[in-house]
Chains A and B, each alone.
Chain A
Amino acid sequence: MKALQFEARPARYAAAAAAGRLTPGAGAKVGPLRLRDLDPPELPGPDWVVIRPRLAGICGSDLSTIDGHASRYFEPIVSFPFVPGHEVVADRTGSDGSDRVVVEPVLGCVTRGIDPPCAACGRGDLGNCEHIAFGALAPGLQSGFCHDTGGGWSTLMVAHPSQLHPVPASMSDEAAVMVEPTACAVHAALTAGIREGDSVVVLGTGTLGLLVTAALRHFTPAGSILAVAKHPTQRELARALGADLLAEPDEVLRAVRRLTGTMALGDGRITRLTGGADHVIDCVGSAASLADALAAVRPKGRVTLVGMPGHVHVDLTGLWQREIVLAGAYAYGTEELPSGERRRTFDLAFELVRAADLGRLVSATYPLARYQDAIAHAASAGRRGAVKIAFDLRNEKERTRL
């Protein structure tokens, strides 16, 4: 099988980090990512199956890993070398597309053969699994970060049936590949506890920000949604997906002040708001975005971090004085809807992808051989008017061999 493989080689990794700092995505050229011919992974257990990826997306967390920006936090919960790719639509049998599935990549207790499952898995909160480094699989929080499962950036990988969601015949591959990132967004929107009419600021309008905007509009009773967008395409999409208001990154505080009618400190220059938005959902995860989030949220408001932050330097005085709640939102599992109904996040994600026509966010696809171009495109997507970049495995000839 053909695959892009990520190896842990500290020296290369350092070089990637340096290059990545200069040009986002440039890490792909020097980093520890290589296109290889590999032996297919062995089935880790009797009920595991082989699947053949059709499309596999490039996620912000993939870019951080490749650029060497990912926190060392991940080292014990990934296993090297691994094949990235956790946003995957694949064929379960044959390659005619008759039995397509979307992968739910989290590797919880069930996939690891751990019985009884941990409390989180028992509740259906797979993203919170306490056993992601244990059991029958090598450590790995998700397929695409685990040595034993392979990942979507290849012509073949293995999956546990509990991870597979059938794709309706009427849904395109492009729409299906958006289901996993949409599930992240749905989880973030629902975990924030948004109440009727709440004002919500979404920082960042890359894929995650756009999907969060759509999820907020579709599943929550949010009032005004202010999306912070840098590029014209992002503005248009954010608006189309449910943002009422748009602002550029350096205009956030003014825009929030206008929206909420709050007073501001500073004599015309805004240094701080006295009030703010009920919620800020940070889909960037940088020191700057987190500082904006803390400045834009009202006292006792909530900041939800959806973008992976890593090491950030931020002043928390405001969090303390304004009693702000700062929370993370990772992955998915089971959600409780405002109506009280409990549903699997992936089921909600399928519904949203369809309702909001999210397949349109796939801007470009690349064959594996052009992985450097693909990653460079993904890293500069916003600037280039693109959203989701994916690998297209459907025409790789290795795909039909095994």
Chain B
Amino acid sequence: MTRPGFVLEVDRNTPPILFHHGEGFRLEKLPPGRTRVIYPAEPLEPIEHPDAAIRHALLNPLGDSPPLPALLRPGMKLTIAFDDVSLPLPPMRRPDIRQRIIEQVLDMAAAAGVDDVALIAALALHRRMTEAELRHAVGDRVYDAFAPHGLLTNHDAEDPDNLAYLGTTDKGEEVEINKRAAESDLLVYVNINIVSMDGGWKSTATGLASYRSLRHHHNVRTLRHSRSFMDQHRSELHSSNWRMGKVLRDAGVKIFQIETTINNDVFGTEGPMSVLQKREWEWNARDRFTFLAMQKSLERLPARTRRQIFHSWKAPHAMTSVQAGEVEAVHQVTTENVYRQHLVAVEGQTDILTMGLPYICPYNVNSIMNPILVMCLGLGYFFNLYRGRPLVREGGVLIMSHPTPWEFHPVHHPSYIDFFEQVLAETTDPVEIESRYEKQYAEDEWYRHLYRTSYAYHGVHPFYMWYWGSHALAHLGQVIVVGGDPRAVHRLGFRPASTMQDALEMASDVVGRDATITHVHNPPILMADVS
């Protein structure tokens, strides 16, 4: 039986608490009497026979959908779209869930005599997946059968010949998605739902959309009115995607949605990383030794090597549920399953929220976590992992720990470099950024070229990262980064602190001396259900 998440009140006997810190860690003694630590639940029990569970889901769909084999017939055009390299985090050990599902879908299609099949990585405006990444996601067998024939491709949101315009929502939002997907007799979408934001109509309406279409929900207004975007029912981001979903359905796009959830098992139960998944007061002598030895040896390594080590880590995540069928019916069950792993009940808000940011976020898999991504992970993702109210009160302080180097992956994030050098040098106000600069970046020919032909995120992507954190920016009184490069932290509009002690001292100027502190012990991911 796995233990649920819970809230620890810090007292004098509480040992130092673990903070992730990029490709490293910090142990911080937190002030007793006014601090609480929120721990995620332990990894849920996995499904014992995932392949059987997948088969069962395909044959017993939810909602008004017939079983998958009933939707397959000779001569039809079938497209299988799947989540890209941003999911799951960290990447999972082989076989990836996508491979398990796609193999079964292809088997059923073959059995039904379907021979027009194409696979598309639904990456929206993310960078294209490399061959190695595609092989990891879909497996070598699928890759070798499709890729050489041009039937396994990365979605291209800027390919005018390969996008289909399907109309507008009742709010005037343009819906334009991948043409092959739109014109298929059946679109099977394969999800890995790592957080509650993923899946539903967002899979197709975002993952396979064009820039023209995406900008209707990826903007400051929508993201500021998504409180949080992890809570579908209070998320304008989701309302917009659901409206677009209606347009897709009305246009006759037939979707068979497959969603899966995974457990929290990020660091495993064996090896040096497993200590990261234990609660500090349960560390035994051996755990302490392992941790210190790991930290010591990491400190001795050059940053590049450290990064390589972390990014080669494949998590032992295991599948906890799989559901298939009609989009909304499927997504409802999926969300419950995500919450089952992530939700932790928390009473009331806090003055100071602390978090340790790890080495990875959805946009730097096999890459560099640049300062803009640090902002997005902290203020976009972790801040928004709540239901009800934000964990930190309005006007409160966010303290995050990350080295925040002034460093960018030039191939993956070229427009981020410009955004950091030009835009953030002028302003950090999302509204001003959007109105003054978005168009120029979104329409820049060089970025478009690199997005389409190389492995670059779309020119507009750093804007989305900034908008992602725009609710937090408006909500928070101050943001402090512990252990970050001061120049980079200042450029983000945040305050650098060299130690947690200094950061708490600085925070007291904003929220007073006896301010309450809450630390989210994340990752593995948890979502606070704040009353």
Contacts and interface: CB of A to CB of B under 8 A. Distances in A.
A267 interface: yes
Interface in B392-449: 409-414, 417-418, 421-422, 425, 440, 444-446, 449
A267 B449 contact: no
Contact of B421 (A248, A261, A269): A248
B454 A268 contact: yes
Contacts, number: 41
Interface stretch (A11-19, A64-72, A250-258, A365-373): A250-258
A261 B411 contact: no
A337 to B, nearest CB: 33
Given A267-B410, A267-B411, A268-B410, A247 B421 contact: yes
A254 B440 CA distance: 14
B445 A268 contact: no
Contacts of A251: 421
Interface residues of B, number: 19
A261 B412 contact: no
Contact-residue bracket for chain A: 10 to 19
A262 interface: yes
A257 B447 CA distance: 11
B517 interface: no
Nearest to B422: A258
A252 to B, nearest CB: 10
Nearest to B449: A263
Interface string B179-219: 00000000000000000000000000000000000000000
Interface in A225-250: 245-248
A246 B423 CA distance: 11
A254 B420 CA distance: 11
Contacts of A246: 425
Contacts of A254: 417-418, 421-422
Contact of A263 (B417, B445, B454): B445
B102 interface: no
B450 interface: yes
A264 interface: yes
Given A268-B410, A268-B412, A269-B410, A262 B421 contact: no
A88 B111 CA distance: 93
Contacts of A261: 444-446
Contacts of A268: 409-414, 450, 454, 456
Contacts of B450: 267-268
Contacts of A248: 421
Nearest to A247: B421
A267 B444 CA distance: 15
9 contacts: A254-B418, A254-B422, A258-B440, A264-B446, A267-B450, A268-B409, A268-B410, A268-B454, A269-B411
Given A254-B422, A255-B422, A268-B409, 5 more contacts: A248-B421, A254-B418, A262-B446, A267-B411, A268-B414
Interface of A: 245-248, 251, 254-255, 257-258, 261-264, 266-269
